[in-house]
Amino acid sequence: MKVLKFGGTSVGSIKNMKLVKEIITDNEKKIVVLSAMSGTTNSLVEIAEFIRKGEQNKAIDCIAELHKKYQIVLNDLIEVSNLKQDVEDYINSVFEFLNSLILDSYSELLYNKIVAQGELLSTFIFTKYLIQEKINVQLLPALDFMRIDKANEPDEFYIKQNLQRIINESFPADIYITQGFICLDAMGKIANLQRGGSDYTATIIGAVMNADEVEIWTDIDGMHNNDPRFVENTHAISNLSFDEAAELAYFGAKILHPQTVMPAREANIPVRLKNTMEPTSYGTLISSKYKGEGIKAIAAKDNITAIKIKSARMLLAHGFLKKVFEIFEKYETSIDMITTSEIAVSLTIDNDKNLISIIEELEKFSSVEIDKQQSIICLVGHDVVLHPETHRLFEVLKDISVRMISYGGSNNNISLLVNTNDKITALKKLNTYIFEAVTV
């Protein structure tokens, strides 16, 4: 059995939904995970934000505008009258529900209820479309099996038990459709796997079902060697190891949600990245096999905060780093990069929710400097640290102000911390020097 996930663009228009139908109807049994139609989750986030700010009228307008879009989808996609009625009723019920929330006071739960509606809509509509096309399909509600625990990790035991039970209890189908992104939390309340989380849903399902392969279908022909939103002349990489793909996803390659690779790596299930609009192109295969060597790709992650902790007492003092790390652990804040000198340690975090408390505690035994709006640029490949071409990286550094370098933490990764204003220049220069082999 395979698990196929289709992203926002892939289900974002009638034309693309029809392409998805072609891709999934190959007589093989499969689970299909869908995102919300492109733009929907952003609109839902906007609605939640208007409610948070007390701007109810703007929320109402935004809901009405989104409702109109779905009425158009309904009219263009569903022709059979009883199915049309079902979909119309469902769409109306979702928008009535959204309108019923506008006067509620804002909470994380309210946000979660609102943003969940995108995947609920896309899967309902697409399932009815497949029924109209006489395909043997069943909708599996993700909220009946997908759950995270207190540490926000997937509760694989619960997911496996419940998903298998639901499949056994439902009519046998060729295609099972389910929602990406949404889940229940440890208390059984509606939650989600964070923005872009449908990719993660797919590999979690792949792992618990011991799938042959997970396919992530999107709007580009695989993982590119640099961020195509900022750099020209990038190309798809045919093969990546789990470790390489995990580093790229974690360090900002938007094509994959940061945690997507983990369940697949643990269960050793290959992940294929494919382009819905060009199904015959090879895409990227992520597996346990290493192929090629040297630097394969560059990615960048924004919204990084650098913290420099200076202490004269650090000199020769054992236990200093332990004290520092304990503070980050206490505030459940993970550290991405770290560099040390004799009197100072610099580190980076991407979640600054508890920054003020962290600084207060650090200042009890050191002086602290903070730099916000930093970006981590990550170079990923097989044995990049050992590879002779890696020296090119240092040729680039002379033009860009680099705040930190992490080299040798793993053989797959070299990370640079730069000011976010310099990120695009850095990505372009690295592309030129590393992939286009220009010497200075």
Number of residues that bind ligand ASP (CB under 6 A): 12
Closest alpha carbon to 273 in 224, 345, 346, 314 = 224
Tell me if 196 contacts Mg ion by CB under 5 A. yes
Closest alpha carbon to 114 in 41, 205, 10, 187 = 41
In one letter, which amino acid is 399? D
User: What's the CA gap between 226 and 192, in Å, rounded?
Assistant: 28
What's the closest the beta carbon of residue 338 comes to ligand ASP, in angstroms? 30
User: What's the CA gap between 440 and 396, in Å, rounded?
Assistant: 9
Binding-site partner at residue 381 among ligand ADP, Mg ion, ligand ASP, none, CB < 5 to 8 Å by type: none
Place of tokens 């490949």: 381
- Which of positions 214-253 make contact with ligand ADP (CB under 6 A)? 218-220, 223-224, 227-229, 253
What's the closest the beta carbon of residue 197 comes to ligand ASP, in angstroms? 5
Considering only 51-59, 196-204, 223-231, 343-351, which stretch makes contact with ligand ASP by CB under 6 A? 196-204
Site string for Mg ion, 393-432 (x = CB under 5 A): ----------------------------------------
What's the closest the beta carbon of residue 263 comes to ligand ADP, in angstroms? 17
What's the closest the beta carbon of residue 196 comes to Mg ion, in angstroms? 4
8 Å CB contact between 193 and 152: no
Could you tell me the CA-to-CA distances from 233 to 34, 73, 249, 275, 418 in Å, in that order? Answer: 30, 35, 20, 18, 23
Tell me if 127 contacts ligand ADP by CB under 6 A. no
Q: Please count the residues of the chain.
A: 440
- Which of positions 344-363 make contact with ligand ADP (CB under 6 A)? none
Considering only 25-33, 165-173, 212-220, 419-427, which stretch makes contact with ligand ADP by CB under 6 A? 212-220
In our burial notation (b when 16+ CB lie closer than 10 A, e otherwise), range 40-71 reads: bbebbebbbbbbeeeeeeebeebbeebbeebe
Tell me if 180 contacts ligand ASP by CB under 6 A. yes
**Segments in 154-197 forming alpha helices (H):** 156-169
What's the closest the beta carbon of residue 284 comes to ligand ASP, in angstroms? 18
User: What's the CA gap between 92 and 98, in Å, rounded?
Assistant: 10
53 or 229: CB nearest ligand ADP: 229
Binding-site partner at residue 390 among ligand ASP, Mg ion, ligand ADP, none, CB < 5 to 8 Å by type: none
What's the closest the beta carbon of residue 82 comes to ligand ADP, in angstroms? 31
- Which of positions 95-134 make contact with ligand ASP (CB under 6 A)? 118
Binding-site partner at residue 224 among ligand ASP, ligand ADP, Mg ion, none, CB < 5 to 8 Å by type: ligand ADP
120 or 417: CB nearest ligand ASP: 120
Site string for Mg ion, 4-33 (x = CB under 5 A): ---x--------------------------
Beta bridge partners of 374: 304, 419
What's the closest the beta carbon of residue 84 comes to ligand ADP, in angstroms? 27
Instruction: Provide the pairing of β-strand 182-184 with 175-179.
Output: unpaired
Q: Would you call 89 exposed, middle or buried from its count of C-beta atoms within 10 A (0-12, 13-18, 19+)? A: exposed
Q: Nearest 5°: phi and psi at 412? A: -95, -5
Assigned token pair, 346 = 């610099």
Tell me if 206 contacts ligand ASP by CB under 6 A. no
What's the closest the beta carbon of residue 247 comes to ligand ASP, in angstroms? 20
Place of tokens 């899967």: 123
Tell me if 265 contacts ligand ADP by CB under 6 A. no
User: What's the CA gap between 393 and 379, in Å, rounded?
Assistant: 9
- Which of positions 322-351 make contact with ligand ASP (CB under 6 A)? none
Max Cα distance, the chain (Å): 78
Question: DSSP 3-state assignment of 202?
Answer: helix
Binding-site partner at residue 197 among ligand ADP, Mg ion, ligand ASP, none, CB < 5 to 8 Å by type: ligand ASP
- Which of positions 54-93 make contact with ligand ASP (CB under 6 A)? none
Q: Using CB under 6 A, list all residues that contact ligand ADP.
A: 7-10, 35, 196, 218-220, 223-224, 227-229, 253-255, 299
